[in-house]
Copies of this chain bind each other. A is one copy, B any other.
Amino acid sequence: MSYARQMLGTCRVSFNVDADLLAVTIDALNDCAQACMADTGCDLSEENVAEMARCVRLCLDCADVCIATAGVISRQAEYDVGVVAPLLEACAAACKSCGDECERHSRMHEHCRVCAEACRSCERACRDLLGALG
């Protein structure tokens, strides 16, 4: 059980979304940021690095947006929908772009296949939370 999940139950906060959904999203965001950071390093070590430049860039964007989103939704007591909704949208879009690019390299580079998987999960989690904010 992740730390986020353990903590959500013990914290004096009245979230107006389901705590499980929130924990799943925080975990997916952190996992995706971790995958994108690692994939950046792997991409930069490939022989065909010139073909990986776009992948590096999208991994960096995705990691940055995931970390910011994880920070914001981990700290929120009451959701500020004006911030959280577009942030989740931006995050889902960054995960989609990065996941698409990683998938293009997934046959050649196993690390990109793994990263694409993390991006897909995170995109889904962001969209699910967005739906629940409704």
Contacts and interface: CB of A to CB of B under 8 A. Distances in A.
B57 A77 contact: yes
Interface SS of A by simple majority: helix
Given A31-B2, A45-B12, A87-B90, A64 B53 contact: no
B64 A41 contact: no
Copies in the complex: 4
A109 B6 CA distance: 12
A44 B61 contact: no
Interface string A98-134: 0000000000011100110010000000000000000
20 contacts: A4-B35, A7-B39, A10-B42, A11-B42, A13-B45, A34-B70, A37-B75, A40-B75, A41-B57, A41-B75, A44-B57, A44-B75, A50-B50, A60-B60, A64-B68, A68-B68, A72-B94, A80-B93, A86-B90, A87-B87
Interface of A: 2-4, 6-8, 10-13, 26, 30-31, 33-35, 37-42, 44-47, 49-50, 53, 56-57, 60-61, 64-65, 67-68, 70-72, 74-77, 80, 82-87, 89-90, 93-94, 96-97, 109-111, 114-115, 118
